[in-house]
Structure 1
């Protein structure tokens, strides 16, 4: 399965919007994405240190279903970096130009483009 950059952003936004206690899992139902696809991306985000999750296999007859519980600090930082639509599009396009979609690279690109957009909007160098 390929990394879906837009799904990564959707998952992060959904986790942030959740009112669940961090000790509970968050059920994600995102339009146009299967539970398997969402679970896979939650696992990737967990491996990247962006979210904490739990294997909810006990709920699904021993089929691994990765369920997020909360964003990590790194996750909040990443989401704050890519929240702005213009920064997100620049980040995605930049990752596609270099042929890499690693979450680590996307975080670094997001930071760089975020600084660029802030400079353009505010006229200050960060």
Structure 2
């Protein structure tokens, strides 16, 4: 499965805004278990679970796992830094375009690129050159 950075960004921002529950039981699994489904296909549930696992392994979010889903306990410092660097839609658009032009990226490079755009925006708006 490919990593979807738009989904990663969306999940981090949702968690920052208070979302703490992520259902990962598909309708197919619910039917087998004899419980009510929630309109999530197996592919959607697998995709969500994969990306939640990525967030956890990257150290962005701490989760508690249940049989039905994931509970977001908190964003880490790294998760907050990621959210702060990609929150603005224009910065996110420019960051993705830069990563695409480079034909590859790591999460650390993506965050650094976004922070570079934020730094430039601060310098342009304040006239203060930041030495970071």
TM-score range, shorter chain: 0.7 to 0.9
Asked whether the equivalents of residues 43 and 66 of structure 1 are also in contact (C-alpha less than 8 Å), the reply is: no
**Deviation of 1:19 (Å):** 6.0
Distance 1:19-1:10 versus aligned 2 partners, 3 A rule: closer
CA RMSD of aligned residues (A): 2.3
Structure 1 stretches of 4+ moved >4 Å: none
Question: 2:59 is matched with which residue?
Answer: 49
Question: 1:83 is matched with which residue?
Answer: 87
Question: 2:33 is matched with which residue?
Answer: none
Q: Which runs of 5+ in 2 are unaligned?
A: 25-42
Aligned residues: 112
**Deviation of 1:76 (Å):** 0.5
**TM-score by structure 2 length?**
0.73
Distance 1:9 1:98 in 2: 20
**Deviation of 1:28 (Å):** 5.8
Q: Which runs of 5+ in 1 are unaligned?
A: 21-25
Deviations, residues 49-87 of structure 1 (Å, cap 9, x unaligned): 11112333xx14xxxx55533210110111011111111
**TM-score by structure 1 length?**
0.76
Equivalent of 1:73, from 69, 72, 77? 77
1:125 partnered with 2:120 = no
Larger Cα Rg: Structure 1 or Structure 2? 2
Distance 2:65 2:10 in 1: 20
Question: 1:10 is matched with which residue?
Answer: 10
